[in-house]
Amino acid sequence: MQEIYFAGGCFWGTEHFFKQIQGVIHTETGFANGKAEITNPTYEQVYTDQTGYAETVRVRYDEQKVSLAFLVRMFFAAIDPQSINKQGHDEGTRYRTGVYYTSEDQKAVIEKVFAEEQSKYEQPLAVELLPLCNYYPADEYHQDYLDKHPDGYCHLPLSLFSWAKQQKPQ
């Protein structure tokens, strides 16, 4: 089993999106790549945009069933890669987009997908590609939020979830 971290705006929708993908074993909402002196931040702290943390989803996946490249391509299908600190109606540095890797092997794969995606745009992508520096799980309230609250707020269109479920992993 492998893991990768995606910051795709509000983590409720991002988590629910990745849960639909075949080969994803587990997802968890949390906060990543913030100021080192702020450990185990709360949602309320991160919401101030003073901590440097991004709402992030840890994705654990079976690499025998789904590739990292496929997951990164799916991520790009769920975000606006040109938007800075904003996805849907959500604004602030906590909603920035990024892919945070844990090994140089992952970085090389992700860089290839970033290059493919960049070729579609004239302006540079507004998506971070960084090593994971720190990560803290969000409170239980934020875990599996859209499963617990099917009519809850989400910046992603509902059709994207069924689309993700229908995709065949590579």
Q: Measured in whole angstroms, how far is the alpha carbon of residue 149 from the centre of its chain?
A: 20
Residue 67, amino acid? S
**4, 10, 57, 127: which is the annotated catalytic residue?**
10
Q: Is 10 a catalytic residue?
A: yes
Give kind and range of the element (H or E) at residue 55.
strand 54-61
Phi-psi region of 37 (alpha: psi -120 to 50; beta: other; left: phi over 0): alpha
Which two tokens mark 31? 């906060």
| Cα three-residue angle 59-1-169, rounded to 5 degrees | 65
* Alpha-carbon span 108 to 38, nearest angstrom: 30
* Alpha-carbon span 132 to 134, nearest angstrom: 6
Q: What 3-state DSSP class applies to 4?
A: strand
User: Pairing between strand 90-91 and 97-101?
Assistant: unpaired
Which positions are annotated as active-site residues? Answer: 10
